[in-house]
């Protein structure tokens, strides 16, 4: 699921019991924080600065 879709991640997290990994379109630390605080269990990114 695209990392910037944190509002959708929150809805999915509330309705299903499946871990969500956010990936794609994650450009900075705030994108990571938003995805994780919305319920994603992990992040996938090729940006070494965010590893």
Within a domain: 14: yes
The pLDDT, as a whole number, for residue 35 is: 92
Alpha carbons within 13 angstroms on the beta-carbon side of residue 49 total: 6
Within a domain: 10: yes
Alpha carbons within 13 angstroms on the beta-carbon side of residue 50 total: 18
The pLDDT, as a whole number, for residue 14 is: 86
As for how many domains the chain has, the answer is 1
Q: What is the pTM of this model?
A: 0.81
- Identify the CA nearest to 44 among candidates 16, 19, 25: 25
Within a domain: 1: no
Within a domain: 38: yes
pLDDT per residue as tens digits for the range 15-25: 998 899 998 88
Q: Is the pLDDT of residue 46 over 70?
A: yes
Within a domain: 28: yes
Q: Which domain holds residue 26?
A: 6-50
């Amino acid at each position: 699921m695209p990392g910037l879709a944190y509002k959708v991640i929150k809805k999915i997290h509330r309705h299903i019991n499946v871990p969500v990994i956010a990936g794609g379109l994650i450009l900075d630390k705030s994108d990571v924080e938003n995805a994780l605080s919305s319920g994603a269990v992990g992040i996938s990114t090729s940006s070494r600065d965010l590893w």
